[in-house]
Amino acid sequence: MNFKGKLAIVTGGSRDIGKAISVRLAQTGANVVINYLNNEEQANKTLSEISEAGGEAIAVKADVTKQDQVKQLYAEAQKAFGPKVHFLVNNAGGLVERRTLGEMDEAFFNYVMSLNMNSAFLMTQEAVPAMDKGASIINIASLAGRDGGGPGASAYATSKGALMTFTRAMAKELGPQGIRVNSLCPGMISTTFHDIFSKDEVRAKVAGSTPLRREGRAAEVADAVAYLCSEQSSFITGVNLDVNGGLFFS
């Protein structure tokens, strides 16, 4: 894979899976825009790691659930690396908090949907006019979008399911322009997401139930992203690709 001179934008790109994706695409030669919202320190660490490896990247703070900030993100990306966008990775998102149906209010549900789904919509809408034939959009969905998620994760699972359907719809709509759209559905990946939201005993049980008998690594998700950006996957679009060690077969 040689993405020399191509522009990749990674939302939520400063830590965990987003960081691994940012670093992996930079390793292939892409110019990377690392979007972050709250963790400037981690974004700068990711920048340093890319720079030390000889890559080119900038970090841009933006709330990608807000259209005006999305537009500013693209303006800064294009000012730094030129007008064309070759790869967009919609990774920003989160569970926020585990809440049952009775514990949720409308504001919470709408916030989770906006964080995981609306952000991808806004970023995709802004990217497409700057994309040419051969461009690739990858949405980071979740196994939760397939199986409904764990306890208290219904809003998160619903938003990721919506993102998977959006992926299919955009694959059909943008395919005639030569733009491919796919998503990844990670299972139990060893990240701070599960450090925060999953109990140790639950993680151990899930890992033990996985055919490969372990959690996944962020770098393994990043490798799948690089593949879906590459010409090696040139006839793959509309796919929700499982990266779960065999925990769930779709």
Select from 161, 205, 210 the least CA-distant residue to 185: 161
Rounded to the nearest 10 degrees, what angle do helices 154-174 and 119-127 cross at? 20
Check 74, 111, 156, 227 and give the catalytic one.
156
Please tell me the distance from the alpha carbon of residue 5 to that of residue 1, in angstroms, as a whole number.
12
Report how far apart, in Å, the C-alpha atoms of 106 and of each of 96, 101, 109, 148 are. 14, 10, 5, 19
Residue 153, CA distances (Å) to 27, 101, 243 in order: 34, 9, 19
- Say whether 36 is catalytic: no
Q: Which helix (H) or strand (E) holds 43?
A: helix 40-52
Please give the Cα distance from 142 to 149 (Å, whole number).
Answer: 9
Catalytic residue positions, numbered: 156
